[in-house]
Structure 1
Amino acid sequence: MDDFSFAIDELSARGKIINTNNSGSKHFYATDSLRIVVEGEPFRISIYNNKNELLNADENALGVSWFGNQVTCYKQLHQDEKFIGLGEKTGGINRRGNFFQHWNSDVPGYALNADPLYSTIPFFIGIHDKLTYGIFFDNTHKSYFNFGGGADEELFSFGADDGEMNYYFFGGSSVQQIIKDYTQLTGRTPMPPLWSLGFQQSRWGYDNPEQLLTIAKTFREKKMPADVIVSDINYMDNYKIFTWSNKFPSVKNMLGSMKQMGFDMVTIIDPGIKIEKGYKAYEEGLAQNHFAKYPNGKIYVGHVWPGRCHFPDFTKKSTREWWGKNFKEAYVDNGVKGFWNDMNEPAAWGREFPNLIEFGEGKDKKTLYTVKNAYGLLMAKATYEGTKSLMNGQRPFVLTRASYSGIQKYSAQWTGDNVSSDEHMLLGFRLLNSMGLSGVPYVGMDIGGFMGNPTPELFVRWMSLGIYSPLFRNHTHYGYNYREPWLFGEYNTEKIKKILEQRYQLLPYLYSTFYQAHQTGMPINRMLPINYTFDEKVYDGKFENQFLFGDNMLIA
């Protein structure tokens, strides 16, 4: 069976075996940095570094086990072992003693301990006895990680409801080296457009050009630096993607006026395509076989913002190419340079997508059970590759809610529908730090909280921390108060202006740090274990909200 991965483009980036040896049922392999012992009866793997120190070993009694289609790998747990990573996961820095699952979900207003959230990054780093290693479990089915939770504290495990036990082992001698090796395998972030690192003003509810231009003018009149206005779903004609409402009679002129004031625009694009005769995206998708289907060949219908919708089958290259071309007329030709992919877990109202929905054709056919966790990744890939080909050498900015390992090659990511509270503010930074460690450096959250009305004090505090977030975006739900930076009183307006100015003073440093991420995979926001791996204090809850911003700044 051919090895397959949604995350990895080139499977040649594996450790090269330089020595082999057999002794009875044992097989010995060596790379330049590792020694691997494989026992055949029963099948067990133990991995040592080149000093013959044990990094990781299968649990003797269980090893790799199958129960029906479910597959699980059980590993020995060292007494002092800690675990970090797994991307967008709540909880403390050290994952030990906890259970996690990966199943990309739409979770508005999620709780502080919610799991799962929107994305799947099944990569973690183990730390014990002054040693480090990493494991990437490349399986897109619903997956599980038990880091010594429950009664049995002598083992940990990871597994999935279906698919292969296909994992990559990283034996780097430091957390930094493991991150570099993991991102060499899954890809590294492209350099972002500089404008996207400035302040982004967003709201669900901006629905006419006069409103958008007034916001842009007010920023300039108040001499508050900002680079981006974000347009949520209200710009569309009845929420149909690749369209503009008749409230926007001249999009190119509006964007031209914004550009004269130094602003670029980001527009939201969801995957659901409205079922409507005469609607170009629907008619083309239908005629060209671009939609996901039931096993009997009937096209799946789900309800989202436009009503009854079909959903693109992004597993197909032809669909990804078709999707990308659709950005030309509505967006790129009008001057839009940023593209925000939302609702791509994928989400539908009333009920979840049935797992039997099929994607692909022939030998490449897969059900939603295989594709769900990768759907956001594939949508982002289609958006990035399509817009990049249309923009004449300019860098597109892509933002996604859902993702899988490898997302960093195509898109930034934000933490979804958070809440206006101090606790969510701090949780947001822990999520960003974990996502960065897990290979995704361009990350952010909705400053002020998507749901709720922050007090002026909370908003100012969140903005002051937000300048140390790679993505610096203020966004909120339409049902809550407007949140432009000058709406919190004159005293706070001056505070926020100084905060914005500080962000722009940091841009050369931030841009240089992005180049480091582009070259090495090192994140922008760095949880303390990256640099202070064996300092016990950094795993203490008292310090879990501290982090490094690039090489030279400690945020505490």
Structure 2
Amino acid sequence: MPAKATKKTKNNEAKDNCLIIKSAHAEARVWVYSPTIIRVNISKKFNEADESFAVIQQPQANISVKEKDGLTVVDTGALVLKINPQSLQFNFYTADGCWLDGDYERFGTVWDDAKWSNYRKMQPDARFIGLGEKTGPLDRRGQAYVNWNTDAVDYGPKTDPLYKTFPFFIGLHGKETYGLFLDNTHRTYFDFGASTDHKMYWMAADGGDLNYYFFGAQGVAKIIQDYTWLTGRMEMPPLWSLGYQQCRWSYMSAKEVLKVAGKFRKKKIPADVMYCDIDYMDGYKIFTWNKETFEDPKAMLDELKQLGFKLVIIVDPGIKIDKTYKQYDDGIKKNYFAKYVNGDLYTGEVWPGRCHFPDFYRADVREWWGKSFSALTEPGVEGFWNDMNEPAAWGQNIPPIVKFGDKPLSEVRNVYGHQMSRGTYDGTRKLLKGKRPFVLTRAAYAGIQRYSAVWTGDNTANDAHMLLGARLVNSLGITGVSFTGVDIGGFSGNPTPELMVRWNSLGVYTPMFRNHAMIGTVRREPWEWGRDNETIIRKDIEQRYRLLPYLYSAFYQSAQTGLPVCRTLAIEHPFDFNVYNEAYQNQFMFGDNMLVAPAESVAKKVKVYLPAGNWYRFSSGEAIKGGDVVKADAPLTDLPVFIRAGAIIPMQSVVQNTAEPGDGMLELHIWDGPQATEFTYYEDDGATYDYEKGAFYKRTISFDPAQQLVTLSTVEGTFTSRFKEVRMMMHHTDGHLKKHKPSELTNEPMVLKC
């Protein structure tokens, strides 16, 4: 059937909070969600249930519509949408009339049976950032991508698609910013001028609606805040999950897990987490333990607890076909598994052999799945690693005639991992009875931050992957996912000692700090790289633990505003062309005040772009004027990290795990600068949800450079700080560090002289 463009409208009406425009081939509906968020949905046949896996907000009760110069106009006060009812084309403007984005006048939206494509005008200076876990450069202009969650084994720096789908990007041109979230779970496509002579960009889908949310706030950070308001924000993670995590496919027995954990303590290398990959199970059956190698899980968990470790274990969605297996028997009796279109159960092969796959789109199936975690939580497990949930099966090509209830695979593949993670989170939160679970997933869809952390899948041990990992983490941050990580050292292949050391130093400034490797590769534990390298790795891990007060406060900011912990410089400097330069695109801010410049393992010096302002080298205290490129020393002992002038960074003494009380001293490091600054400091118990009931400790720390004073506001919340004293650490422009005498930390306002 030939493709058809949308035709002249037959009807145009505003009904309650929805504008409805009908044409010969489609119907458009428009809602306002906030003054800076407008939703547009164009469909041939609307599903009146109008469900979203990502969006948690509802549209406003009313919509303001008027007709002007032959156009239908929606005006929110901050954003103006002008619709041509003849061509069904949409254009968005700021309140003062600046054009932001809209349909390309030659085509607009084109339908080809169930498929559609939407063509949008591209400005000569346009840039695009976002889409989450996508390879390639920071600026997506000239690139094309497909969203189809894939078990991307041994992916490379240009592989697409990968494991996750985040159809949200931010566009920039002139001095304007806008965002667009295409909420469609089918296979979708984005082409940012890669093949259109740079006149237009386009997006398309194999099915479903052209259903997008347009964001008109000015400023990248404001758009991220709006997007995460719409799709939800993360909750506070368990504090232990921010410590160092040691993983491997596989630690083959409880004895080996405890041996490795014990060696961390013997060598005084801080760590909080051990992992069990697939070999802890009985025949790779989920929710079981190997009775020979993990014969007493509770005893193992009890000993790990005494050592100050938590355990994270892997779960896959494939349920082994075995009549003696409880989960299989339950699933068959209750009709919980995916089927072919003729009603036969779908069978795919993964680690256990022949398997069925749960229908996680059903609430009762997710509840059953969540309750099954009792076999793991009862011995003491608090961390749950969701893998193989694209979903993956050997051969990588689950047939399109597979259905999950009434949902064909083609419609919901991209959200399978999201729903599995949702079931894991809901179930384990109930089972842990007030404790926060740590949930990790490989596959995801927009909104996953409400349920889970993510990692970037099966990377490879080389410098290109290490640098790509930084870009992937930063891009995931743009799409609302703050708790992210990579397999430090590379999942496959064997890193050189230099690469291992360098990657570990970058891990310090990655939200999830996890060392992981594939079976058959060299061991990756910190002591496996020689005594000198072990010393460097220990020093860097200790730095992570010293920074935990700063990092935990950054996660609080994420939970409140949606701003990520790791931030591409494009968030703060979207119109600075240096930010997009290939030489500097991997740089990022770690929280508000620390700029990290990833460096290859063999590099002795690297060029670093420091945005306008004054900066300090973290390691030396050297003051540096920004707005230019500097050539920074980059020995393996000192990853280039820079501190913004005026920065306030709370730190603590080194502890061996997050459960240790430490010495009770909170260090407030202040780097002198010309402008007054402030920092929101946050604590809670790091373990429970009591913070939701007011059991937290929050205060604003302010630096006044003119008076050389630091002020701590009155404490908000009922939680008692773990720190008893506070010490000022003043970093001056001449490189001098002045260490002040400790002061008692009180809940009342405090003024400290610099």
The TM-score by the shorter chain falls in which range?
over 0.9
- Bigger Rg over Cα: 2
CA contact (8 A) 1:421 1:454 kept: yes
2:742 maps to none
Q: Does residue 278 in structure 1 map to residue 319 in structure 2?
A: no
Matched residues in 2 for 1:150 and 1:9: separation?
31
Task: Give 1:456's match in structure 2, choosing from 481, 486, 497.
Answer: 497
Cα-to-partner distance string for 1:314-351 (whole Å, 9 max, x where unaligned) = 000010000000001x2111100000000000000035
Shift in Å at residue 18 of structure 1? 5.4
2:655 maps to none
Cα-to-partner distance string for 1:365-388 (whole Å, 9 max, x where unaligned) = 110001100000000000001100
Shift in Å at residue 107 of structure 1? 1.1
1:447 maps to 488
1:331 maps to 376
**TM-score, with structure 1 as normaliser:** 0.97
1:399 maps to 440
CA contact (8 A) 1:16 1:31 kept: no
Structure 1 residues 464-503: aligned runs within 5 Å: 464-503=505-544
Matched residues in 1 for 2:167 and 2:555: separation?
23
Distance 1:9 1:155, change over 3 A: closer
Q: Secondary structure at the match of 1:166?
A: strand
Structure 1 residues 121-136: aligned runs within 5 Å: 121-136=166-181
Task: Give 2:463's match in structure 1, choosing from 417, 422, 426.
Answer: 422
Shift in Å at residue 205 of structure 1? 1.9
> Identity, % of aligned pairs?
52
1:61 corresponds to which letter in structure 2? R
Distance 1:3 1:524, change over 3 A: farther
Structure 1 residues 470-549: aligned runs within 5 Å: 470-549=511-590
Q: Does residue 82 in structure 1 map to residue 123 in structure 2?
A: no
Matched residues in 2 for 1:374 and 1:284: separation?
24
Q: Does residue 318 in structure 1 map to residue 371 in structure 2?
A: no
Shift in Å at residue 151 of structure 1? 4.2
CA contact (8 A) 2:54 2:445 kept: no
CA contact (8 A) 1:17 1:30 kept: no
User: Which blocks of at least 5 consecutive residues in structure 1 are unaligned?
Assistant: none
CA contact (8 A) 2:304 2:310 kept: yes
Matched residues in 1 for 2:53 and 2:196: separation?
34
Q: Does residue 108 in structure 1 map to residue 149 in structure 2?
A: no
2:231 maps to 186
1:58 maps to 103
1:404 corresponds to which letter in structure 2? Y
Shift in Å at residue 295 of structure 1? 1.1
2:498 corresponds to which letter in structure 1? E
Q: Secondary structure at the match of 1:385?
A: helix
CA contact (8 A) 1:124 1:136 kept: yes
Matched residues in 2 for 1:155 and 1:9: separation?
28
Deviates more, 1:397-406 or 1:533-542: 533-542
Q: Secondary structure at the match of 2:389?
A: coil
2:639 maps to none
Shift in Å at residue 23 of structure 1? 3.8
1:252 maps to 298
Task: Give 1:205's match in structure 2, choosing from 226, 245, 250.
Answer: 250
Shift in Å at residue 3 of structure 1? 5.1
CA contact (8 A) 1:19 1:31 kept: yes
1:65 corresponds to which letter in structure 2? V
Q: Secondary structure at the match of 2:527?
A: coil
Q: Secondary structure at the match of 1:517?
A: helix
Shift in Å at residue 451 of structure 1? 0.3
1:304 maps to 350
CA contact (8 A) 1:18 1:32 kept: no
Task: Give 1:342's match in structure 2, choosing from 387, 396, 399.
Answer: 387
Structure 1 residues 33-44: aligned runs within 5 Å: 33-44=78-89
Q: Does residue 171 in structure 1 map to residue 212 in structure 2?
A: no
CA contact (8 A) 2:151 2:396 kept: no
Shift in Å at residue 262 of structure 1? 0.1
Distance 1:130 1:16, change over 3 A: farther
Distance 1:542 1:283, change over 3 A: same
Q: Does residue 117 in structure 1 map to residue 158 in structure 2?
A: no
Shift in Å at residue 150 of structure 1? 1.6
Task: Give 2:429's match in structure 1, choosing from 365, 372, 388.
Answer: 388
Matched residues in 2 for 1:217 and 1:464: separation?
23
Q: Secondary structure at the match of 2:545?
A: helix
More relative contact order in 1 or in 2 (CA 8 Å, sep 6+)?
1
Shift in Å at residue 24 of structure 1? 6.7
1:306 corresponds to which letter in structure 2? P
Matched residues in 1 for 2:168 and 2:51: separation?
14
**TM-score, with structure 2 as normaliser:** 0.72
2:429 corresponds to which letter in structure 1? K
2:37 maps to none
Matched residues in 2 for 1:389 and 1:211: separation?
30
Cα-to-partner distance string for 1:240-293 (whole Å, 9 max, x where unaligned) = 000000121110011000000000000000000000011000000111111011
Q: Secondary structure at the match of 1:469?
A: coil
How many residues align structurally?
A: 550
CA contact (8 A) 1:38 1:44 kept: yes
2:477 maps to 436
CA contact (8 A) 1:6 1:374 kept: no
CA contact (8 A) 1:17 1:29 kept: no
Matched residues in 2 for 1:19 and 1:478: separation?
60
